[in-house]
Amino acid sequence: MNDRIRTDIAHNARVWNYWLGGKDYYPVDREVGDRVTAFHPSIGAVARADRAFLGRAVTRLTAEAGIRQFLDIGTGLPTADNTHEVAQRIAPDSRIVYVDNDPIVLTHARALLTGTPEGRTEYVDADARDPGRILAAAAGTLDLSRPVAVLILGILNFVLDLDEARAIVRTLMDAVPSGSYLVVTHPTYDPELGGEANVAAMEFWNANATPPITARSRAEFASFLDGLDLLEPGIVSCARWQAPEAADVAQYGAVARKP
């Protein structure tokens, strides 16, 4: 086993996999996942809605916006319909760079590197707090002078300082040209989306699991999108983004274009 993998404390990538119905987790992850679910009974629905949002956003950007390059930061463990599978089904020449800092994701990365012969997939073991390093590594696979969709789904919530989280987004979006996109999701405490359940759930998480997490308001989420043009329907629960009939979950989602 990779000696960076700790089985004595729950890790987000593994608990997320548990909530998604996967099999790549340890007993401690299941235990903490069940305790969090007791505080926030729809947390499994949040995880599923987030993945479904990823599928709709990547489909839209590949099929309608002509995007062929994706930088997926905070990838998570391989699951059904990973970014390269969604994009390359539509455009086999799509190139995808995955980034995560959890050693278990690194261990499973081979399953993410099964793209089409026409396209390319790459995995980078790096921390989102080092966007310069991510961009330098991504430049080996992506042409950063051409539009890129930057995916940051369920990960800025692990950057507890809001200014630092904003700076990460700004550094990434500054490095890609006009016509690039930001795809982002983030949990919230906002009661309009049922987010009050996140208060106790995240308090429990922070006492018992890693990495520490936070939620953000609609206005804080909107600040990640400053200077970008929002695609319809704007900022909504990620479950309802281009799926208006769906029920809200306490996770914002948006897709925006760099002008």
- Contact residues: ligand SAM, CB under 6 A: 12-13, 16, 50-51, 54, 74-76, 100-102, 105, 127-129, 153-155, 158, 211
Whichever of 143 and 161 has its CB closer to ligand SAM, that residue is 161
Residue spans of alpha helices (H) in 64-180? 83-90, 103-107, 131-138, 162-174
> How many Cβ atoms sit within 10 Å of the Cβ of residue 98?
26
**Nearest-10 crossing angle of helices 197-208, 27-39:** 150
User: Based on CB atoms, which residue is closest to ligand SAM, 12 or 180?
Assistant: 12
The nearer residue to ligand SAM, 75 or 188, going by C-beta atoms, is: 75
Of 40, 5, 39, 37, nearest to 24 by C-alpha is 5
Question: Could you tell me the smallest distance in angstroms from the CB atom of residue 38 to ligand SAM?
Answer: 19
Question: Could you tell me the smallest distance in angstroms from the CB atom of residue 104 to ligand SAM?
Answer: 8
| Sequential DSSP letters for 13-38 | HHHHHHHTT-S---HHHHHHHHHHHH
Beta carbon nearer to ligand SAM, 125 or 146: 125
Residue (49 or 231) nearer to ligand SAM, CB: 49
Beta strand 181-187 pairing with 95-100: unpaired
Count CB-CB contacts under 10 A for residue 209: 23
Give the nearest distance from C-beta 159 to ligand SAM in angstroms: 7
| Least Cβ distance, residue 101 to ligand SAM (angstroms) | 4
Judged by beta carbon, residue 57 or residue 228, the one nearer ligand SAM is 57
Beta carbons within 8 Å of 81's beta carbon, 6+ residues apart: 51, 54, 55
Residues sharing a CB contact under 8 Å with residue 11, sequence separation 6 or more, in sequence order: 29, 102, 104, 209, 210
Closest distance between ligand SAM and the C-beta of residue 178, in Å? Answer: 25
Q: Find where tokens 């996140």 sit.
A: 198
How far apart are CB 216 and ligand SAM at their closest, in Å?
Answer: 14
